[in-house]
Structure 1
Amino acid sequence: MSATPARLDGEALLRWPLPALDDGADKEARGRVLVIGGSREVAGAVLLAGTAALRVGAGKLVLATVASAAASLAMAMPEARVIALPETPGGGVDPDRVSSLEPVAEAAGAVLVGPGMMDAPATEELVARLMPSLRGRTVVLDARAMDVVTRLQRFDEPVLLTPHAGEMAHLSGAAKEDVLAEPLRAAREAARRWNAVVALKGAQTVIARPDGDAWLHEGGNAGLATSGSGDTLAGAIAGLAARGASLEQACAWGVVLHARAGEQLAERLGPVGYLARELPLEMLAVLRGLEAQAHSTR
């Protein structure tokens, strides 16, 4: 373990290329992503995450969300299979029906849980019950799905957690001010404690593995602090993981693509005011640019 985290930027990604895709690869070879999320009041978060997963190259997409939102989601995203799940009185996913998700989860290469989930107790229970079915899968836990760490304490297999400073303070019991003061230390301690890859998001984003290896990204802009931005980042990470990237590599690429997409939108539209729904297509443009740069240097 190096005490100094590795810097993350475009040049770093060029030295850490994504797993190659054969030109003849079908959609199965590019991986299947399952996104579990949404609620009666925040139905669009899974749409943002799913769009990002496909834009970075995942081959197949399954969205599992509350029944009240499933039909409209299927119309909004015809590229995806949409599964309607029973709801709690609070408008979240009913954990008592989690068994219906197990075969779908087992068929997925990457599983993202959390975008748009609002019923905190139900979400924690659902994730706790679902985890045994996710063994051997690449798992990304976002938003309220991360609360499961307060129950499980430590994962049998590493998963990816994507907290901002406030969420890290809630999950770890540390003061938010301490997290902000020493993000590298906070991320490393959490990764080791939970046996997880932790992406502590902020103006400086730190990615840490359980063994202490870490990466640091500085960039992005104020416009990325907008509703749904985190959903697009989580979806992009899941999509890259479905293509065969490791948790830390998928996260590193996702963080840089997300930040650069924000920078490019800010240049065209202004520093604030662009929408999260505009980020996935911009991430695709950034990805294509990096790939072209890689080819030109060979």
Structure 2
Amino acid sequence: MKQLTGEALRGLPLPQHDQGDNKEGRGQVLVVGGCLAVPGAILLSAEGALRAGAGKLQIATCRSIAPQLGLAMPEAMVIGLPETAEGGIAADAARAILAPAARADAVLVGPGVIGAGSMAGLVTALLQEAGEATAFVFDAGALDGLSDCVTDLRRARRGAVITPHAGEMARLLDISREAVEAEPLRHARQAASELGCTVVLKGGTSYVVNASEAPWVFDGGTIGLATSGSGDVLAGIIAGLLARGASALHAALWGVYLHAEAGRRLTQRHGGIGLLARELPAEIPSIMAAGSHPP
């Protein structure tokens, strides 16, 4: 295994952007998710994507909460999707986002989705219609149906990143959570091999794995990151880096590091627990600017 550190990442610089580049040059992110019960999760992901440097942002969410999210995130274009009686994204929502997804450089699916019954068909449709330049991040409610989408996942030219915690990994592999926690690296490798994607297995120690390179391990997180919405921010950061042109593996590695470093800085200022996920994104630009790579 390779140890994920700031020093190690100096050899894996993020894409450069000229001072005069317009927003098109830093890529477009589409974030798909949310529901009436958890409308804020998609905002955490969306801000994470912009703070990681993406140039343009679209949000696709349940029609009844789309206007409010547009006001809360004025930087985004918001697409209202058909929704179920329970307030989730409807199974026929894919047709409303296929064209925006095909134009996006990175598509993040899943934050704020409760009850993933409608997501498998949507994920399949997105993967089948994606352009060659589109990369994907699957998180939370989009993870459960991925085992039915392996062929389409492997067709994603720019790759896909999944960001499960131990419980989500257990459901994905149809095993117990205890089995994942006992051998996290083994099961991260299994998922990477079976799905053909880059895996970020989140936890007190996190693992970043794909099928073609040695795995990475990161043990520099803080207890403050174990809080509601933290994973949504991480997924958004990774999507933003993908939109800028980073590979799936490099976006995953940088995303894990930037997320953890944001938590470390907040911990230094405010203490070990009680951090809010909404505080994390604002730390990201200065962390990138302080590194040896261009902001």
TM-score bin, normalised by smaller chain: over 0.9
Q: Relative to structure 2, which stretch is displaced further, 94-103 or 244-253?
A: 94-103
- Measure, in 1, the Cα distance between the counterparts of 2:221 and 2:285: 16
SS in 1 for 2:64: helix
- Measure, in 2, the Cα distance between the counterparts of 1:228 and 1:97: 24
Q: Which residue of 2 aligns with 1:177?
A: 178
- Measure, in 1, the Cα distance between the counterparts of 2:74 and 2:266: 26
- Measure, in 2, the Cα distance between the counterparts of 1:120 and 1:65: 14
Letter aligned with residue 54 of structure 2:
A
Letter aligned with residue 41 of structure 2:
A
For structure 1, the residue ranges without an aligned partner over 5 or more in a row are: none
**CA deviation digits over 1:204-226, x for unaligned, max 9?**
11111122531111111111011
Q: Which residue of 2 aligns with 1:266?
A: 267
Q: Which residue of 1 aligns with 2:12?
A: 16
- Measure, in 2, the Cα distance between the counterparts of 1:87 and 1:173: 28
SS in 1 for 2:60: strand
1:124·1:144 contact (CA, 8 Å) conserved in 2?
no
TM-score (norm 1): 0.93
**Could you tell me how far 1:97 is from its partner in structure 2?**
3.1
Tell me how many residue pairs correspond in the alignment: 289
Q: Does 1:252 align with 2:253?
A: yes
**CA deviation digits over 1:124-176, x for unaligned, max 9?**
23222322122521000000101122322452334211111111111102222
**CA deviation digits over 1:57-86, x for unaligned, max 9?**
100000011011111111111111011111
> Could you tell me which of 142, 147, 150 is aligned with 2:144?
147
> Could you tell me which of 48, 51, 65 is aligned with 1:55?
51
- Measure, in 1, the Cα distance between the counterparts of 2:179 and 2:90: 35
**Could you tell me how far 1:231 is from its partner in structure 2?**
0.5
Q: Relative to structure 2, which stretch is displaced further, 244-253 or 91-100?
A: 91-100
For structure 2, the residue ranges without an aligned partner over 5 or more in a row are: none
Structure 1 segments of 4+ aligned residues over 6 angstroms from their partners = none
SS in 1 for 2:291: helix
Q: Which residue of 1 aligns with 2:244?
A: 243
- Measure, in 2, the Cα distance between the counterparts of 1:61 and 1:234: 14
- Measure, in 1, the Cα distance between the counterparts of 2:71 and 2:93: 24
Is the alpha carbon distance of 1:12 and 1:35 closer, same or farther for their aligned partners in structure 2, counting shifts above 3 Å? same
Q: Which residue of 1 aligns with 2:154?
A: 156
**CA deviation digits over 1:223-251, x for unaligned, max 9?**
10111100000000000010000011001
2:144·2:168 contact (CA, 8 Å) conserved in 1?
no
Letter aligned with residue 25 of structure 1:
D
